[in-house]
Amino acid sequence: MFGTDISNIVRLTDALVLAVDTPLHLILCVCFLYRILGWAALVGVGFMVVLLPLPAAIVRRIQRVQRLQMQKTDQRVQAMTESLNIIRMIKMFAWEPFVKSRVTERREGELRYLQMRKLLDLANDIFVGSLPMAAMTISYAFYTLVMGQELDASKVFSSLPVFDQLSDCMYFGIAKVSTTIRGKVSLDRVTTFLYKSLLLDRYKSPSPIASTVMAAPPSENSIGFHEASFSWRDPQEDSVFPSQRTFRLRLDNLLFETGAINLIVGPTGCGKTSILMALLGEMHFIAQGPDSWFNLPRGGGVAYAPQESWVQNDTIKANILFGSPYDESRYKAVLYDCGLEPDLALFVDGDDTEVGEKGLTLSGGQKARITLARAVYSSAQILLLDDIVSALDVHTARWVAEKCLKGTLMRGRTVILVTHAVALVAPIAQKVISLDSKGHILSQGTLSTGLSEDATLRKELQQSRASLEQNTDSLQTDAASKKDPAAGKLIVTEEMAQGRVRWVSMKLLLNAFGGVFSWLSALTGFVLAVTVDTFSMWWLGHWAQAYATFGSHLNIPYYLSVFIGLVVLHQICYGTGAVIYTFGTTRASRKIHAELCDSILRSTFRWLDSTPIGRIVSRFTQDMGEIDNTLTAEAKAVIQLTLKLVFKFTAAVVFAPAFLLPGLVVTMLGWWLGHFYMIAQMAIKRLRSNWRSPLYNHLGASVLGLVSIRAYGAEDKFELVLRQRADAYSRPSRTFWNLNRWIAVRMNFLGAAFSGSLAAYLTYTRRGVSASNTGFSLHMAVEFSGMILWWIRFVNGLEVSANSLERVRDYLSIPHEPAATQEKRAPAYWPASGSIRVESLCARYSHDGPLVLRDLDFEIKSGERIGIVGRTGSGKSSLTLALLQLIPTTGDIYLDGRPARDTNLDDLRSNMTIIPQEPMLLSGTIRSNLDPYSLHDDSTLYDALRVTGLSDSENTIANDNISLDTTVANSGSNFSVGQRQLIALARAMLRRTRVVILDEATASIDSETDALIQASIRTELQHATLITIAHRLLTIMDYDKIMVLSEGRLVEFDTPLALLRNEHGYFRSLVDESGEKEKLIAIAEEGRTS
């Protein structure tokens, strides 16, 4: 909407000028025709007016089709944008064919309406173009047959330019009809969006009803709720969609303690995050009685750290400051308290390192600590922290709890913290609020009070203590955590091409059109149309000249019928060529989009990391829109104008050879002026195109971080940046229109001077030339000189639009992963086992970046369960990416004895399943996310949901039942992080691959649910080789082997008991420092005996 619709509205403002200009031209044309042909002119024009309702009906049909087309465009862009947001997961699962088919399906629907609209535009164009010719034919017939007047050369060639003016008014008026329709449809869509957008309560206009809903809190500084309910949907909405999840948070009485740490605990999906959202006003308030209220005082400022960390595509320092004044001592204290100093020391540019789009250069733990640092550094007196420790390993989490939450920077500030790490944070919390599985408050008060009253809290605390590892005050972070610490500036500046559009870009369109035969067929139709049109103009002169020979005995019906036949033949030839051209451009649009989509889906991780999503999306929106509409229309206009110029120039030279030299001079001058004009316009177009991506990137980042922006009260700042970037994008437009005026003034003067001079020459110096031939030559010359300007404009428009083609073509030659080949196709039975052997494995995130894995050698037997431990950034996640061949590697990886490098990537990745740290879902339904290829029946899908405990978690939400048809919003945003991880686990169990990798897959799940999940994994995935990256030692203590990584190296790899016997080993130190040493050892020994 922000791209295509706004562009259409801008073009609509240009088309509105014709609403004043066209009627004035039509009135003047009718007046002149009446003076030349008398009442015959009014008969012809009257006939044209009578038929005008027919194109109006076509226009209404075009408008309906245009509206449907834009809906399909929205669906395609949404599908592609969503896919780009989760492109890493798509590659991990080898879902590229599924995503491509998903986008292609929407693209086909869009192209169907696009082609229908173009054919309707063509029908309208032919019909409207025929009306002036029909009016001229009827006027001439009435003038000769009814009025009995002679149609001499003076009448013909005096009326022809006026009929041409009439035709131009109709043509350009109708040519703008599609622009007007698109603009009107877009304006309606924007208006509907503005009027029907679901606003938060605090942004709605006050009303007498709303003012009496909420009672006053006991104190303006009170933080909490009383007899309050909240919903994600406006309760006043009438429409209810059965597939949508309806959730209502009910809080009878909850008060947070000011100036203290308040802890909110409870099972997954019980509504902990919703409490924070309700406080921030992100949910709709529903009063339960006259005393209902909720309050979050904002006078002292509010800071918010979301569970899904949000960072801007900026430097680390800028993300932490977030517009606050720089205070060196406070800034350094925040870095220390949040454990960021060791991380920054690894970057060449330190805190000036760009984090990339969505923080792609950072690990999940680093993003979480930067988000926390932003909240801590702010001057806000109220901090809302949503499970900030779930993405941290236990050592880092311990550091954050001890240094940050208990630090001096937190003193006197109100902290409301949601977490599953109860044992870690509860001892420092002054108030603990415990929720049950249905979101009801079980207890609130001090920890001791809660433990005495709430058995659930006691159980959760016991489980949390069992999984908590304590660490010393020294924090270590490894170099392996960095994808490229030398690359302080990760995002590559978008290159701007110089000079004219290269022929190879236009060749892309020519090749996609459908081959030489399609082009020749279309060109043949256009050539015949121009030939017949030129001959018809000559025939009128011949008709007029015949009066000198035959006088009153002239066979008027003969000349009239030939002229009518030529007019009809012209429209048939033009229509045939245009239909062939329309089908060809549709094929080209389909092929170019398919190649672009395929290129992006096959791109490398490194390229995706260094290219903002907004930049890619602009190729699928603005650039593809230009190719679908403007480029093909401009190319068609250039072809027709070029043919007309050639034929008119030739015709004029045949009858007036003296026209040759002046005509060539005018052509050369026009080309010379047009050359400068097009060079300047291309630079302006490229400048506008390059400013578009920063604008879209800022808008996209703002939407993703909207809750954080509103929580910090930073709406005005982000709106200011948006306005500045919009101004920078719009500023070249003024130069664009100034250049249009520059060329128009010069070409109009040149054309007028040439036409006047030629007219004087033909009138006063040419003797013995018939009036008809003189009129015909002059008519051809005048049209030739007038068309040069339009030819230059359309050529420039074509080249400007071809810049979009050039930008798309550049994305077809980006770095790609190796394409699938028949030689590397794995046999159907492979892999028969889940054995993995790694030899001398080294890996890096870019070919010139530092090593993140160094000389790894190990072997995993089929069916073994392997746990991987290590500090943050030790290379745990990098190892999973290397196994899936998602990053550049050296050395050898064997799966079931077959080298990974000799296996097609889709075969390799489809036979391994990974549950990433931050699972993402595709919009659709639960069914489409669990089983995108429809390989399983519903009973199997429901079994997977029950096994993962997802059904249990859903039972915690009142009035909210899950089913396979439950709607999944974009990226799964209508599910909590924990619930998305459960869905991802269910998907892994359905895939039943030989190798399953869990990358901290239960980090956002409460301990009890985690225990149930681990039991299900042991049962359901016992056939598979299981590789688990976990922060909780309890999760992996009964595994067959444990792999310990440090600085990208394999430092230990053996059974848990063997590692425990090494008293000076890394793993033994972790167990010794834990609070449950004996229990962990017992689990290891029990695992050995079982």
Two structure tokens written together for 134: 């029909």
Query: Which range has highest mean pLDDT (258-272, 525-539, 940-954)?
Result: 525-539
How many separate helices (H) and strands (E) can be counted in the chain? Answer: 39, 22
Tokens 């009035």 belong to residue:
959
Section 601-618 average pLDDT: 86
Residue 413 DSSP symbol? -
Q: What is the percent of the chain with per-residue pLDDT over 70, rounded to a whole number?
A: 86
- Note every long-range contact of 625-630, with CB atoms under 8 Å and residues 24 or more positions apart, other chains counting: 625/3, 625/4, 625/7, 625/73, 626/801, 626/804, 626/805, 627/509, 627/588, 627/589, 627/592, 627/801, 627/804, 627/805, 627/808, 628/114, 628/589, 630/797, 630/801
pLDDT band at 1074 (very low <50, low <70, confident <90, very high): low
pLDDT for 24 equals: 83
Other Cβ atoms closer than 10 A to 286: 17
Two structure tokens written together for 136: 């001229």
Span 335-364, pLDDT tens digits = 999 988 888 887 777 888 887 777 766 777
Distance between CA atoms of 830 and 897, rounded to whole angstroms? 10
124 lies in some domain? yes
8 Å CB contact between 304 and 708: yes
Q: CATH number of the domain that 678 lies in?
A: 1.20.1560.10
For the sheet with 889-895, list strands across it: 851-860, 836-844, 889-895, 898-899
Residue from 1071, 1012, 1017, 1061 nearest 1039 by CA: 1017
Structural domain boundaries enclosing 423: 257-273+298-470
Identity of residue 615: R
pLDDT for 503 equals: 66
Distance between CA atoms of 15 and 10, rounded to whole angstroms? 9
The full 3-state SS of 1007-1053, as one line of letters, equals HHHHHHHHHHHHHHCCCCEEEEECCCHHHHCCCCEEEEEECCEEEEE
Tokens 């600085």 belong to residue:
1047
161, 178, 203 - which closes a domain: 203
513 and 453 part of one domain: no
Two structure tokens written together for 1023: 């056939």
8 Å CB contact between 543 and 535: no
782, 816, 850 - which closes a domain: 816
Distance between CA atoms of 300 and 712, rounded to whole angstroms? 11
- Among 110-114, 790-794, 973-977, the minimum mean pLDDT is found in 973-977
pLDDT band at 748 (very low <50, low <70, confident <90, very high): confident
Going along 802-847, which residue ranges are E strands? Answer: 836-844
Two structure tokens written together for 1050: 């394999």
Query: Which range has highest mean pLDDT (58-67, 202-211, 240-249)?
Result: 58-67
Residue 620 DSSP symbol? I
Distance between CA atoms of 562 and 904, rounded to whole angstroms? 67
877 and 747 part of one domain: no
Section 71-79 average pLDDT: 89
Two structure tokens written together for 221: 């500084």
Identity of residue 198: L
Identity of residue 536: S
698 and 758 part of one domain: yes
Tokens 């929106």 belong to residue:
621
pLDDT averaged over every residue in the chain: 81
306 and 265 part of one domain: yes
Distance between CA atoms of 7 and 224, rounded to whole angstroms? 45
Distance between CA atoms of 650 and 533, rounded to whole angstroms? 14
Span 133-157, pLDDT tens digits = 888 899 999 988 888 888 888 888 8
For the sheet with 1049-1054, list strands across it: 912-915, 995-999, 1025-1029, 865-869, 1041-1046, 1049-1054
Q: CATH number of the domain that 387 lies in?
A: 3.40.50.300
The full 3-state SS of 72-92, as one line of letters, equals HHHHHHHHHHHHHHCHHHHHH
Residue from 635, 687, 679, 407 nearest 526 by CA: 635
Span 939-998, pLDDT tens digits = 888 888 887 777 644 444 334 557 788 888 777 777 777 778 788 888 888 888 899 988
Give Dmax over CA atoms of the chain in angstroms. 124
Q: What is the DSSP string of 887-899?
A: S-EEEEEEETTEE
Contacts for 225 with CB less than 8 Å, ≥ 6 apart: 251, 253, 254, 278, 293, 294
Tokens 């301990």 belong to residue:
1007
Section 779-791 average pLDDT: 82
Tokens 């604008």 belong to residue:
695
Q: Can you list the alpha helix ranges (DSSP code H) found in 551-659?
A: 556-601, 605-610, 613-618, 624-625, 632-655
Residue from 728, 687, 722 nearest 701 by CA: 722
774 and 882 part of one domain: no
218 lies in some domain? no
First to last CA, the chain: 60
- Coil, helix or strand for 1060? helix
Helix (H) or strand (E) holding 163, with range, is helix 153-196
303 lies in some domain? yes
8 Å CB contact between 1011 and 929: no
Other Cβ atoms closer than 10 A to 1079: 16
379 lies in some domain? yes
pLDDT band at 332 (very low <50, low <70, confident <90, very high): very high
Going along 896-1014, which residue ranges are E strands? Answer: 898-899, 912-915, 924-925, 967-968, 995-999
Section 704-720 average pLDDT: 88
- Coil, helix or strand for 907? helix
Helix 771-811, helix 660-704: angle, nearest 10: 30
462 and 513 part of one domain: no
pLDDT band at 727 (very low <50, low <70, confident <90, very high): confident
Two structure tokens written together for 479: 């170099």
623 and 717 part of one domain: yes
pLDDT for 478 equals: 40
Name which residue leads in pLDDT, 1020 or 328.
328
Span 1028-1067, pLDDT tens digits = 887 667 778 888 899 998 888 999 999 988 888 888 888 8
864 and 729 part of one domain: no
222 lies in some domain? no
Two structure tokens written together for 876: 């745990």
Distance between CA atoms of 189 and 196, rounded to whole angstroms? 10
512 lies in some domain? yes
591 and 443 part of one domain: no
783, 816, 849 - which closes a domain: 816
**pLDDT surpassing 60 at residue 934:** yes
| Residue 816 β-bridge partners | 603
851 and 730 part of one domain: no
Number of domains in the chain: 4
pLDDT for 953 equals: 44
| Residue 254 β-bridge partners | 225
611 and 751 part of one domain: yes
**pLDDT surpassing 90 at residue 799:** no
Two structure tokens written together for 40: 């015959």
Distance between CA atoms of 596 and 87, rounded to whole angstroms? 15
955 lies in some domain? yes
Distance between CA atoms of 249 and 438, rounded to whole angstroms? 9
Two structure tokens written together for 505: 């870009």
123 and 268 part of one domain: no
487 lies in some domain? no
pLDDT for 221 equals: 84
8 Å CB contact between 303 and 334: no
- Coil, helix or strand for 186? helix
User: Cα 691–696–699 angle (5° rounding)?
Assistant: 130
Rounded (10°) CA dihedral 1043, 1049, 1052, 1055: 20
pLDDT for 210 equals: 40
Tokens 């012809």 belong to residue:
44
Distance between CA atoms of 289 and 389, rounded to whole angstroms? 37
